[in-house]
């Protein structure tokens, strides 16, 4: 049975698609959604200056709750939003293990750039996860 | 600006799973069955067979009938086992001729909401871990791909 679904969010269009897909699955299965964002190790720049770790954390938490996870709030699905620090792959897999997650949902590509159709984060999650992983296509098929 | 279109979670009420008759694949089949039962969907189990190409001048002639019969057995066995373990869902099998990953993606895109496939679960290169079929499916599918490792539990 699917009781708890973890989805990575980063505010990208694909991540929004992944979140909406996860919400629909959770509604169907009465599962709980864990929306997770890992802040990574790079400092955040705003208006030409770097934010302090506290500021960065504060702003990201705000974004996570009120913007990136807004569809989740509006869906009525049982959920929790988690802001983690560290490498996205490690943070995500650790929390998946600790929280006995049944399924991990990732978009094919988040904010990263490059030509491969699968982002490096998604690739490493597929490679290292013990939990089954759903990889969503970059865009739905026509028709 | 990327156009945001939502992926419908369910349009066709079919979960498709690829099998080659291996243990890793049967894990994927039973995960697919779980997925189908929570969604109230049908499960379609697909297996592909093809004639290996031995190259120019090969004196070897593949016994096509035997290959096809063995392939049909792979499908039938998987369907039987799944029907027994998951009596609540409708299970169908499909035997296709052609390259496994290519055929699976074609069927999945046309007929299913999600495609489930097993991975080998070891190896440090993703291509090795995934196996060529699951890697192909992952990179070419237009619908969500659920990857199940051999040790995955549910």
pLDDT at A23: 94
Question: What distances in angstroms separate CA B145 from CA A132, A135, B27, B28, B33, one per listed residue?
Answer: 10, 5, 15, 12, 15
Position A141 in a domain: no
CB pairs under 8 A between A and B: 88
DSSP H helices in A2-142:
13-29, 53-63, 70-75, 88-98, 120-128
pLDDT at B124: 43
User: Are residues B147 and A126, on separate chains, in Cβ contact within 8 Å?
Assistant: yes
Position A82 in a domain: yes
pLDDT at A126: 85
Give the phi and the psi of residue A57 in degrees, each rounded to 5.
-65, -45
pLDDT at A72: 93
CATH of the domain at A24: 3.40.50.620
Q: Is A87 exposed, middle or buried (0-12, 13-18, 19+ CB in 10 A)?
A: middle
Position A142 in a domain: no
Chain A residues within 8 angstroms (CB to CB) of chain B = 1-2, 13-14, 16-17, 20-21, 24-25, 28-29, 102-103, 117-118, 123, 126-127, 129-137, 139-141
User: Are residues B139 and A118, on separate chains, in Cβ contact within 8 Å?
Assistant: yes
Separation of alpha carbons B20 and B48, rounded Å: 8
Per-residue pLDDT of chain A (143 residues; tens, 9 = 90+): 789 999 998 888 888 888 999 999 999 889 999 999 988 767 777 788 888 888 888 989 999 999 999 999 999 999 999 999 888 889 999 999 999 999 999 887 555 444 455 677 788 888 888 899 999 887 543 33
pLDDT at B103: 92
A132: domain range? 4-136
Collect all residues of chain B within an 8 Å Cβ-Cβ radius of residue A137.
Answer: 7, 141-145
Query: Could you give the number of structural domains in chain A?
Result: 1
Query: Which of B130, B144, B151 comes nearest A134 by C-beta?
Result: B144
Separation of alpha carbons A59 and A68, rounded Å: 12
Q: Which domains does chain B have, with CATH numbers?
A: 14-51+60-90+101-148 (3.40.50.620)
pLDDT at B120: 72
Asked whether the ipTM of the predicted complex exceeds the cut of 0.90, the reply is no
How close is the nearest chain A Cα to the Cα of B30, in Å?
A: 12
Q: Is B116 exposed, middle or buried (0-12, 13-18, 19+ CB in 10 A)?
A: buried
pLDDT tens digits, A99-127: 999 999 988 755 544 445 567 778 888 88
Longest CA pairwise span in chain A (Å): 48
Place of tokens 């293990």: A97
- Which SS3 state, helix, strand or coil, does residue A134 take? strand
Per-residue pLDDT of chain B (154 residues; tens, 9 = 90+): 444 455 667 689 999 999 988 888 888 999 999 999 988 999 999 998 877 666 655 566 667 788 889 899 999 999 999 999 999 999 999 999 988 889 999 999 999 999 999 887 554 444 455 677 888 898 889 899 999 887 654 4
Q: Are B38 and B10 in contact, with CB atoms under 8 Å apart?
A: no
């Amino acid at each position: 049975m699917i009781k708890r679904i973890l989805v990575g969010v980063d505010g990208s269009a694909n991540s929004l698609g992944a979140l909406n897909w996860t919400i629909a699955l959770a509604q169907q299965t009465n599962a709980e959604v864990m929306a997770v964002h890992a802040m990574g190790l790079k400092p955040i720049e705003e208006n030409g200056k770097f934010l302090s770790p506290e500021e960065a954390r504060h702003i990201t938490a705000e974004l996570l709750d009120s913007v990136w996870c807004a569809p989740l709030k509006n869906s009525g699905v049982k959920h929790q939003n988690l802001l983690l620090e560290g490498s996205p792959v490690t943070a995500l897999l650790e929390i998946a293990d600790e929280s006995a997650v049944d399924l991990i949902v990732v978009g094919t590509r988040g904010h990263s750039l490059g030509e491969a159709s699968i982002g490096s984060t998604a690739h490493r999650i597929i490679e290292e996860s013990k939990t089954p992983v759903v990889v969503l296509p970059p865009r739905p098929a026509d028709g | 600006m990327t156009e945001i279109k939502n992926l419908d979670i369910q349009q066709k009420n079919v979960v498709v799973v690829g099998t080659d008759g291996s243990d890793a694949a049967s894990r994927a089949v039973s995960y697919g069955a779980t997925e189908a039962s929570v969604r109230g969907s049908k499960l379609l189990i697909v297996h592909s067979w093809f004639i290996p190409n031995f190259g120019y001048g090969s004196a070897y002639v593949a016994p096509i009938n035997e290959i096809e019969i063995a392939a049909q057995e792979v499908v039938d066995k998987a369907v039987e086992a799944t029907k027994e373990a998951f009596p609540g869902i409708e299970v169908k099998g499909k035997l296709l001729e052609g390259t496994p990953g290519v055929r699976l993606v074609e069927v999945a895109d046309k007929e299913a909401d999600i495609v489930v496939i097993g991975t080998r679960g070891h190896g440090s290169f993703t291509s090795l871990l995934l196996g060529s079929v699951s890697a192909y499916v992952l990179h070419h599918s237009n619908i969500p791909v659920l990857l199940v490792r051999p040790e995955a539990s549910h």
